[in-house]
Amino acid sequence: MLRQTMEATTSDINWLSAVELSVLFRSGELSPCEAVAASFSRIAAVDPHLNAFCALDEERAMRDAQHSETRFSAGVPLGPLDGVPVAIKDLTPTAGLRTAMGSRLFADNIPEHDAIVVERLRAAGAIIVGKTTTSEFANASVTDSPLTGSTCNPWDPSRSSGGSSGGSAVAVATGCVPLAEGSDMGGSVRIPACFCGVLGLKPALGRIPFALMPSLYDPIAHHGPLARSVDDIVAFLHVTAGPDDRDPISLPASTACDAPLASDLAGVRVAFSPDLGFLSVESDVMDNARAATKRLEEAGAVVETVDLGLSEALYDAGYKLFSARIYQYYGHLESAHRDVLDPTLLHFFDIGRSLSAADLVDTEMMVSREWQTMVRLFESYDVLACPTMPRTATPLGKSEFDFNGCDTEGKSITFDMTFPFNLFGRLPALTLPSGLGQDGLPTGLQLVGRRHDERTILSLAHILHAPDIWNARLRDLGPWTNKPTDGARK
């Protein structure tokens, strides 16, 4: 029996998916208490070297696991995530558990209420084991904050985990949890998922209610899951998606992800853009993306390389819209606390305060014109495929502002290839590993679906992703000998 095998080593538990855990809980071969204990054991081994967690909730988690175990014994589990260890990003409020948002100014902040996404996870029986590191107020595409320091990449601790959901990506990639929550305002789920070799989904805007910010009409903010399997992404959506009046732009209930994913791709039309029309992409990243689309063809899809023709001005637009919001949300803290705020955050403040209302409307009009490019694309295709990031994980200490200018072919050098699909927020976007670069680090393929159509991109990802191969690669990572020292420790 599996229980006898697990007694020899708890490490095997850490590499089971959420869906696999649920099957074993139902059969009685494994208990939620054993799974949660294994999670904390793995966190203790990993976190001193990589810095993925900034707060743990072991006492409540074990108590909740016991309640879950009782439900399974009675044959009345709450759903596919009952008893499953899950991690929550430090931006997302958790009642009774510190939510510092990566900031020294909120180091003692204990929310009274859960965010909607956390409410729904708890109601489905998921066990919240702790909070994962993020940049200050999730402002950056890397995970490095004045409070918690840098979060290292498990493939190479001298490299960034990406951000701003870097802690969540590392927690999943190292087997601390099978599933973690992140938030995505410019790629903050997909960037770290790509850098760390796991899957990450930015659902369609409003699919999972998002009511964290002072403005309830934020057009770029999404909750999304990070996982090692597509089935776990689907399970996360199953329990967290759906309308809530606290988020006025949340979408009506959808059964799209309740139905089985497509098992073949006959008739599915995929547009492949190696560079979105204007971006500098490293050759190994592009080669791996092309190879992944070849596998889609073998599964029955029709794949055509397209000249997408988007404008590089999208990135300028994205920075303006993001900076304006960050400045309006947090700029009031600058005058009294400038010396303890993240320099990247201050850079966004500078951009945000320089913008007029007319500037922002001009930006929104430009994005509206670019939206027509996507409308024309989806008249002929079901999915857009492109690399997720133009390169593998960047060195620690670099930020998105270190990537600019043009390459020798005149292509724009940017940090990511994710930001445009936050500006087109109704389009869901998913990243999955596409291979390894020349430096041995993961590369990613990004799949972008039609408006509100998560199911198609999840179906493609389910056929493309090889969890056994990637789990084996992830299990082989480490041991790590570094000890991150910058930033205040837990």
The DSSP code sequence of 216-275 is: TT-SS-EEEEEESSHHHHHHHHHHH-S--TTSTTPPPP--TTTSPPPS--TT-EEEE-SS
- Verify whether residue 229 is a known catalytic residue: no
Helix (H, G, I), strand (E, B) or coil at 297: helix
- What pairing do the DSSP bridges indicate for beta strands 179-184 and 85-89? parallel
- The total of other beta-carbon atoms located within 10 Å of residue 482's CB is 12
- The total of other beta-carbon atoms located within 10 Å of residue 447's CB is 25
Tokens 């930015």 found at: 202
Q: Residue 393 carries which DSSP code?
A: P
Active-site residue, selected from the candidate residues 160, 164, 165, 323? 164
- Verify whether residue 89 is a known catalytic residue: yes
Environment class of residue 71 by beta-carbon count within 10 Å: exposed (0-12), middle (13-18) or buried (19+)?
A: middle
For residue 21, give every residue at least 6 positions away whose Cβ sits within 8 Å of its Cβ, in sequence order, or none: 13, 30, 35, 83, 84, 178
* Rg (alpha carbons) of the chain, rounded to whole number: 21
Tokens 């498990």 found at: 154
Distances (CA, A) of 335 to 136, 209, 330, 331: 17, 32, 11, 8
Active-site residue, selected from the candidate residues 183, 188, 399, 412? 188
- Verify whether residue 164 is a known catalytic residue: yes
The runs of H, that is alpha helices, within 144-207 are 166-173, 190-196
Tokens 């909740």 found at: 64
Extended strands (E) in 255-382: 269-272, 302-305
To the nearest 10°, report the CA torsion of 181, 183, 187, 191.
-30
Active-site residue, selected from the candidate residues 39, 68, 89, 103? 89
CA pseudo-torsion sign 64, 66, 70, 73: positive
Q: Residue 138 carries which DSSP code?
A: G
User: Which residues are designated catalytic?
Assistant: 89, 164, 188
